Structure 1
Amino acid sequence: MTEHGRQPVERQLPTEEARDLISLVRELAEREIAPRAAEEEAAGRFPRDLFRLLSDSGLLGLPYPEKFGGGDQPYEVYLQVLEELAAARLTVGLGVSVHTLACHALATFGTEEQRTEHLPDMLGGGLLGAYCLSEPASGSDAASLRTRAVRDGDDWVLNGTKAWITHGGVADFYTVLARTGGEGPRGVTAFLVPGDAEGLSAAAPERKMGMNGSPTAQLHFDGVRVPDARRLGDEGQGFTVALAALDAGRLGIAACALGVAQAALDEAVAYVAERRQFGRPIGDFQGLRFMLADMATQIEAGRALYLGAARRRDAGLPYAKQAAMAKLFCTDTAMRVTTDAVQLLGGYGYTVDFPVERYMREAKVLQIVEGTNQIQRVVIGRHLVGPESR
């Protein structure tokens, strides 16, 4: 595998502590994550040891309170950490984003007792989480989910199937949305389900075009019994819990997308500086320079967009519209930039000897997860002109 070293990104960081944190992440990514990425993705190996290392380094709970084992970092900083991790390997960056998403319901809607009991292990105890909303027949229409939880004394009994679950079968805990009442969003409740719960099983991982090191699988709930003490939020509040988590999660996907795009740009810049045709480096040709300029401009614009949304979140301002815009723009940018990177490398870009073909395959899924980009346009449109009349 031929892979050029990445150029450090000029980052807007609010404190000296944040600058030190980014330096630590870059060093860890260059030493522990990037060298293994190509081989393990090709082999479909999940790097569980890297997530333990990230946990030991305090990187699995960055945006959560320090008193529960988190890092007390603003989202503005956490997202730039995600970008650095995703640039080294999307399986790792996206995995941290999914773990953060899985912790969100407990951290935001859990009781003080629940957070004290569970969050320290989830944020710094080596555990890995997953988020269970989608189902085989319930994707973009998440409110139509069919997995059901029925009250039985002090317990709830869960039956149903979840689909497209990142970390499915390898996670230590799952944040699960299940139907406890009637149809529609008001009948949904959130639960914290242990990964080793009796009656919980995972199907074989999906065979995907990219991110083969990250397992994506269906989860089957066959009479899974969960104490009421593991219910997150009020009964029937689950859809509100889910949407709040998704707003934050979309910013994580935006940051990961720009990590992949930046890695592809770095590879393309290094290649055109070395490759010679017609007696000179191909980087001398204006047409290629224009492509690189467009790629770099799109990345900078996307970074400004996700950071602006993150700062709104950190300030306690509404940010759902901006999160949808960031997810939409950054993931579309990743697809364009990685496709152009393959083109700039020519035939070499189409081979596995260079990483840009992997970046292109990985970028595609980012336009789908955490709400497709068509759904993001629906969300943005509703913020602009209100709900559809029907």
Structure 2
Amino acid sequence: MDIAFVSNVVFPFVKGGAEKRIHEIGTRLAANGHDVTVYGRHYWDGPQVMEYDGLTLYGVAPAKELYDDERRSITEAIDFSARLLPHLRRTADDHDVIVASLFPYFPVLAAKLTALGTDTPLVTTWHEVWLDYWDEYLGRLAPFGKAVEGLTAKTPHYPIAISSVTADRLTEISPSRDEIEIVPNGIDVDQIEATQPAEDGFDVLYAGRLIEHKNVDYLLEAFDRIAETDPNITLGIIGDGPERDALERQAQNLTHADRVTMLGFLEEYDDVLAHMRAADVFASPSTREGFGITFAEAMAADCTVIAAEHPESAASEVIDDAGFLASPTVDDVTDVLERALSGERPNTEPTARAQRYDWDAVAEQAEQCYQRAIDGNW
């Protein structure tokens, strides 16, 4: 196969979940003998088109800031899409399949335009479907976001969702459920297992964005309650985000503030893994997860995982019975955290569950989907 990935950001020059997925799948497909090109912004030093880790990187636009305050820049997405068009229009017929990462939508629409008049199918990867979350994200501009999301969903393509939750939400705006393939996000199990545990680790760990729906404030309160009767437990919070200042103030005002450490954002991924390997419990009571890669990573690190049970979170699908679910309340998070710290283990070993999310397995699933799109057997 000759595969073209479209993503305005390219890993490892910009680090994020969607671009890492492309890199991990792409490098494995290239190793299997497929030709893989990634069309993105020119974030790397070197020529516009170059080879990297077996991939062909094609810079169709100069590097540009992705965010306007805390929101993804709409003008950046439109600018990238416009610059993508002439390049991909010349080469679309040379590729067997084009795979576009969904957010921020406009590059998907541009990719479809370039493929018109060719036999090259378009596959899309849906990490999330926002629906009414647009109201919170864009306020009075929410109808614009909903319209673009709906238009993208209705554009003829082959959709892949990273979880059943995302697939079910996608059916609310277009494709029927049986038209959507599910290929989860992945982890490098060998890398996680080979990571040495941090010497200054914590009993309980959170890692992720510090944003409202992650409910880290519930975890802090629950920990403080348990620390009242357990004089030795510690909690580490890894991450940054708009809630960081409020959470740091909350942590400082806890009765047992001396046993809570706010580590901020850790530049090195291995440092995050080291803390996971050292922790007994990984807890994230988030109510909105399109997948929840940290749950898979924590299971591979042999943590007892605690997640929130919520209809907008795929956590229950990711961990199944290899972890514990709590309702997103302080009382229930406290109860489940106390059980986990007492040594209660889930029915399935977390490390066994994590194997299904290894990148080798994920790349194989993706390869099969791309081939079915090419063959017209979706």
- The TM-score with structure 2 as length reference comes to 0.27
The structure with the largest strand share of the pair is 2
Q: Which has the higher contact order (CA 8 A, sep 6+)?
A: 1
- The TM-score with structure 1 as length reference comes to 0.26
